[in-house]
Amino acid sequence: MPPKEDEKFFDQANKRILYSKQPLQKSIEKFVKFPIATSYEEGEPRLLVVSVDAAEGATVTFDSYEKGKDLNGKDIRKTVYYGQSSQEEKQQQQQPIVIEYNDGIKIQHVMASATLPEFFEYEEISGHKFWDGGLLSNTPIRELIQAHKDFWEYKLDSKELENSILEEASFNVPDLELYMVNLWHSDDDVAPSDPDGMTDRLKDIKLHDQYYVKESILQTHYIHLIERLIQLGISKKNNNNNNNNYELKNYINNILQNYTASIDTTEVPKKY
């Protein structure tokens, strides 16, 4: 592609060299059939593609699983997120950003997750401009866990979801088994001094895994501990009196109705 001129200050020395995304896009389309729409009921794998809304400064996850059904019973696939505006602005407008793709993930969504600003022009979808998700979340474990949680909150009603914690549901939410592949070196033998080496090293530092795995493991340990404490409370009740059993369940459910200390990627308070 020809150099992109400086349209702000018209500085002839400030030209941006960009590459065409067409070779990469054609290579992907050669091996992948779009759109990608998958279903849990059909035993199909789920594809999550993470990008960054360059204007809003927020991670955005595109999902091959459905988010609901329309009036005709057809699958709804969409991504809902908020930007990084202030809480006061959110209270005034309360309008999330919604991007719909009912047919499934398209090549544009994949390209949005692979658009490094140093090399490519923005990928524009529904009026929003996107960059590679690794700029804000690499590896996107938070987005993975949030998508898993949101999907099963949609699939199961609130009562069945509560019972799944108490091991009284006909179906339990499946666990996530996570494997991470780090493509970027976090360290190197020497600090490079040549321009190409420095650029390459900069990418390594920016895009290497930024997720502290030990924190995720600790959270999982706490979840398992809480589940075991709940089961202990049920199994160790003083007697088989139904009133005692009801009071215990009611007490646990009241705890689960409290709001969490942190919020999710949609900036909306969540209950336990």
Convert the pLDDT of each residue in 202-240 to its tens digit.
877 777 766 655 566 666 666 766 776 677 666 655 555
- Residues 71, 11, single domain; the answer is yes
Total structural domains in the chain?
2
Mention every residue, 6+ apart, whose C-beta is less than 8 A from residue 45. 38
Has residue 131 been placed in a domain? yes
Find, among 113, 144, 118, 112, the residue nearest to 17 by Cα: 118
Q: Does residue 21 share a domain with residue 122?
A: yes
Compute the distance between CA of residue 41 and CA of residue 19 in angstroms, rounded to an integer: 41
What are the counts of helices (DSSP H) followed by strands (DSSP E) for the chain?
8, 10
Which residues of the chain fall below pLDDT 50? 86-87, 91
Residues 68 and 132 in one domain: yes
Distances (CA, A) of 262 to 50, 227, 239: 21, 20, 37
- Asked if 130 and 146 sit in the same domain, the reply is no
DSSP 271: E
- CA distance linking residue 156 with residue 162, whole number of Å: 9
The per-residue pLDDT for 190 is 83
**Short-list 9, 30, 53, CA closest to 265:** 53
Rounded to a whole number of angstroms, the CA Rg of the chain reads: 23
Q: Are residues 268 and 217 in the same domain?
A: yes
Domain with 176, as residue range(s), is 139-180+212-272
Please state, in angstroms and rounded to a whole number, the distance separating the CA atoms of residues 77 and 79: 7
**Residue for token pair 């006909």:** 170
